[in-house]
Amino acid sequence: MITLRQMRFLTAVADTLNFSRAAELCFVTQPTLSAGIKELEDRLGVQLIERTRQSVMMTPLGLDLTERARRLLLDAAEIEAVAKAHKSPLEGDLKLGSIPTIGPYLLPRALPAIREAFPDLRVYLREEMTETLIEGLNAGRLDLVLIALPFDIGALEIMPLFDDGYQLATPLGGPPPRGADTLTSSPELMLLEKGHCLQRHALAAYPGRIVAAEDSFAATSLSTLIAMVAEGLGITLLPNLAVAAGVTRLAHVQLTPLPDACPRQVVLAWRPGTARAKLFQSIGKLLQQTQKTLVQSGNVPNGDRSTCA
């Protein structure tokens, strides 16, 4: 009989191409893992892994069956999660992922409310770029992700939370900014580096009207962008959420609201069919309340999707 344990051994070897590291990942000894792989190959009557003294390689069939094994393991984990959620939907571990331009500004303020509402829920946070978060969600490494649209999310279910508009950040003491006119005419627009969805979202704030220069500075974080603006090296767009959270509080920059900019849409996403959908929706409502309080206290407007083309 083929077992889930053998499936785990197979995927671990495929991920590491090293029997010793694969055994460590599976918390077994190397002889135990090797025996499990051999039992699987004998059961199927095929070779899945090519082994020499110098290297480990997956056969073409081994690669194909590894992907099928991943789906089986994910389904098995989902079966366990469904049963556990049916018994105690508000308990256990919750692996929540977020992009860097949302999580640091929203989650620290929302987590106390989440813990108060669900005291038996253990929340583990992960910060990654959107593509990595979606891969982790589909692979079962994450339960819930906090991201911004537009982005291709496939068949994932989403709960729209709020629209996040933008503010123009320019050097303090520089020429008075003229809002969108300054933005669309500036050759010194600085954005986050490629891979951050905020780069695409910022360019989509005024579709076809703003372009980042090919040789312009590309930052890895909003704080770096703000520091560059403060030194007079350019201008940038900042999300209202980050501004409301005080990201520019000590920086020598001036902010100009951009009410006519197309905002990004902040959403929660999860795998379809999960037994914890109601829990995720409750968490979404707490995030909405937190964002509303935050922007009101920071005197920052919400985004308006009616401005989108």
**Does one domain contain both 197 and 262?**
yes
Distance of CA 253 to the CA centre of its chain: 28
Note the pLDDT of residue 266.
Answer: 96
Q: What is the CATH number of the domain that holds 299?
A: 3.40.190.290
**Does one domain contain both 76 and 142?**
no
- How many domains are there within the chain? 2
Note the pLDDT of residue 1.
Answer: 85
- Domain end position, chosen among 63, 84, 105: 84
Range of the domain at 12: 4-84
Please state, in angstroms and rounded to a whole number, the distance separating the CA atoms of residues 170 and 226: 9
**Does one domain contain both 280 and 160?**
yes
- Domain end position, chosen among 66, 84, 102: 84
**Does one domain contain both 213 and 121?**
yes
- Domain end position, chosen among 43, 68, 84: 84
Note the pLDDT of residue 185.
Answer: 57
Strands (E), the chain: 49-51, 56-58, 92-98, 121-127, 144-149, 157-164, 166-171, 191-192, 218-219, 236-239, 253-257, 264-270
Note the pLDDT of residue 117.
Answer: 93
**Does one domain contain both 161 and 283?**
yes
**Does one domain contain both 138 and 217?**
yes
Give the tens place of pLDDT for each residue, 66-78.
999 998 998 888 7
DSSP 56-108: EEE-HHHHHHHHHHHHHHHHHHHHHHHHHHHH-TT-EEEEEEE-TTTHHHHHH
Q: pLDDT below 70 — which residues of the chain?
A: 85-90, 176-187, 195, 208-217, 303-307, 309
In the chain, the amino acid numbered 184 is: T
Contact by Cβ (8 Å): 189, 246: no
Give the tens place of pLDDT for each residue, 145-194.
999 998 889 899 999 999 999 999 988 877 766 666 666 656 678 888 77
**Does one domain contain both 76 and 99?**
no
**Does one domain contain both 198 and 170?**
yes
Contact by Cβ (8 Å): 290, 113: yes
Q: What is the CATH number of the domain that holds 47?
A: 1.10.10.10
